[in-house]
Structure 1
């Protein structure tokens, strides 16, 4: 090939979320002389990764955010875009699920290979969930290929028949650059100093966007109960989102302001993980969270809600607990898991298939084979 093949990645906005971080991990590690990514984002805002995408040679296009009332306009945008650009691509890789059946169907009509990618194993608990399920359901009849971050995420999105019987269903692990997460005393001391952490303190940590699914309010209540067992402790919350101020207010109401650090979005998560003694993740639902892979790669013990797929435990350092248990019971469990000897888990992560280099090689080969079939 004289020039790289181009794949169109479809996403909401390229900020530092789990799916977006996974895509960028892949983008940084694919051979961009062979495969290039372009992006359609559903916003006019500038994303955290936009400049890096452009530096890597990617292009970013802005489509309208979908709401029911602009259904016709949304389809019209995609038809116009693909009439002008479809010849640039061999495949459309869709990460935004709610409208996948729309843009992938239109992409099919332009002769492009269509990939649906499930990053979540959400259930139906709100009206928003119901609407999402209704909008996304037909994707299973539209896409030519199905990716998921876990078996559970695949089943929730596409159904058991596709996961167990379709030869075009693949698990694409939420892989990471394992080298960046190895325990490092120098980095730990540097970050402890930056975040005003005393080495005698026990530090609980969490990384995730601030929304209902991540359940940070429950985590704050757990930490509040932990004070009855260990007053010399801190909680670090990394991320941002619609519930950030709500959580901040709860911290204030519980008089925990001097013990809870809310960092906002960070680009040094691999280093901040060094300051944690334990990773706590009480999500209401998940796919297979990359943040938990990162935490394990840092040698951390992790306590997760039992709504998170058991597939995420790849080091033996993960324990699960029901959200029906009280914050007090969660705090007691944390106490029982500490202290422990933190060890280098890099090889376990690699052996489990979560090293980004091998995953990027697989995906590069997958895309190239698609191009060869179309020649």
Structure 2
């Protein structure tokens, strides 16, 4: 089978869902049938993802974009594209317009919509997307079927394809408890949340739920993994609610699979989610999961998932969480494996090959 060359393009490798997906692609693609590299517009920021890229010597080129209005780096981008000469270009977030500026409309281009249509991109980027999806047949990728319909409807196109996010299922299945390292007593009932400290993740609601859980289970604690602009305000809320010592701020980590294995239940009350990959990671770790009904149903694949409305009162959320005690399982249902990154990359590779005419080779 002919190898195809694929260029992934992202603004940066700061910690986030889109960046994490590209990193997962780079770590897991099938090298027997594909060459893949990535371009980041910005220089390394020292994020966990940058550290992984350096440690694992992944094929990433960093450009020197200086700020949101800087377009001088496009010459560098054009040179990188010409040097690698990809069969397919796959863009993420705000990268598409810059790739087009670099004169690439003759090549097959895919662009992933990572969130709800109106939150995935700003007004200008959505205007550009509409033109490119319809006029030049840039192929949008949606993360699930409901999002595909929304993308086609909003942009007036018909060419959106569905390729889910993926995770390394075995890595999360085989994580190990690190409660001693985290300073968590073995008798504690541990709630866990993984996500950036940002409005969509709804940390304020999570803190309210946790405080109520404590009235049922005084041995409970809450582990928060991530960082972000709202972290300081959430720390203040925790202090104001008298929860210091009960809420652990674990920061951005590269061993999320071990933190999940150290937990008893995963709680994810998002205001909206394009996909919800953290939910899949929790499920692959064997945790029962309590999520908002804004999380797409297709990622809720194991039996021990409870989807609740954010309009439900705190007591109902608290009861759902409390009922999850002793519900962890080391046996995964088969449905989780359809999201294994190796299977996802096979679907993605097929889409690439069909677009560039290599599917018969």
Q: Normalization by structure 2: what TM-score? A: 0.86
Contact 1:11 1:41 (C-alpha < 8 Å) held by counterparts = yes
Would the alpha carbon gap of residues 365 and 257 (structure 1) be closer, same or farther in structure 2, given more than 3 Å must change? Answer: same
Rounded to whole Å, the distance in 1 between the matches of 2:146 and 2:257 is 27
Equivalent residue number for residue 6 of structure 1? 5
Would the alpha carbon gap of residues 181 and 200 (structure 1) be closer, same or farther in structure 2, given more than 3 Å must change? Answer: same
Rounded to whole Å, the distance in 1 between the matches of 2:207 and 2:354 is 48
Task: List, as ranges, runs of 4+ consecutive aligned residues in structure 1 with deviation greater than 6 Å.
Answer: 160-163
Equivalent residue number for residue 29 of structure 1? 28
Residue 251 (1) aligns with residue 238 (2):
yes
SS of match in other structure, 1:60: strand
Would the alpha carbon gap of residues 14 and 80 (structure 1) be closer, same or farther in structure 2, given more than 3 Å must change? Answer: closer
Rounded to whole Å, the distance in 2 between the matches of 1:326 and 1:66 is 43
Matched positions, count: 356
Rounded to whole Å, the distance in 2 between the matches of 1:109 and 1:132 is 17
Rounded to whole Å, the distance in 2 between the matches of 1:175 and 1:262 is 26
SS of match in other structure, 1:92: strand
Would the alpha carbon gap of residues 29 and 139 (structure 1) be closer, same or farther in structure 2, given more than 3 Å must change? Answer: same
Equivalent residue number for residue 44 of structure 1? 43
Equivalent residue number for residue 140 of structure 1? 133
SS of match in other structure, 1:209: coil
Rounded to whole Å, the distance in 2 between the matches of 1:139 and 1:251 is 46
Rounded to whole Å, the distance in 2 between the matches of 1:274 and 1:268 is 10
Unaligned runs of 5+ in 1: none
Q: Residue 113 of structure 1: which of 96, 108, 116 is its match?
A: 108
> Over residues 4-26 of structure 1, what are the superposed CA-to-partner deviations in whole Å (9 max), with x where a residue is unaligned?
64322222321332222222222
> Over residues 33-85 of structure 1, what are the superposed CA-to-partner deviations in whole Å (9 max), with x where a residue is unaligned?
54333333343343433354454451323253774xx3xx53x6436632663
> Over residues 311-370 of structure 1, what are the superposed CA-to-partner deviations in whole Å (9 max), with x where a residue is unaligned?
1111122211111223333213222343425241163311xx111222223334444555
Q: Residue 170 of structure 2: which of 179, 186, 190 is its match?
A: 179
Contact 1:236 1:262 (C-alpha < 8 Å) held by counterparts = yes
Equivalent residue number for residue 153 of structure 1? 147
Contact 2:167 2:341 (C-alpha < 8 Å) held by counterparts = yes
Rounded to whole Å, the distance in 2 between the matches of 1:42 and 1:328 is 46
Would the alpha carbon gap of residues 124 and 34 (structure 1) be closer, same or farther in structure 2, given more than 3 Å must change? Answer: closer
Unaligned runs of 5+ in 2: none
SS of match in other structure, 2:30: coil
- Comparing 26-35 and 116-125, the one that deviates more: 116-125
Equivalent residue number for residue 363 of structure 1? 348
Rounded to whole Å, the distance in 2 between the matches of 1:234 and 1:269 is 17
Q: Normalization by structure 1: what TM-score? A: 0.83
Residue 342 (1) aligns with residue 329 (2):
yes
Equivalent residue number for residue 93 of structure 1? 90
> Over residues 142-199 of structure 1, what are the superposed CA-to-partner deviations in whole Å (9 max), with x where a residue is unaligned?
4522212112333444437878x43xx3222222121112266xx22xx111112222
Would the alpha carbon gap of residues 317 and 99 (structure 1) be closer, same or farther in structure 2, given more than 3 Å must change? Answer: same
Deviation at 1:246, TM superposition (A): 1.3
Root-mean-square deviation (Å): 3.1
Would the alpha carbon gap of residues 260 and 37 (structure 1) be closer, same or farther in structure 2, given more than 3 Å must change? Answer: same
SS of match in other structure, 2:346: helix
Contact 2:179 2:186 (C-alpha < 8 Å) held by counterparts = yes
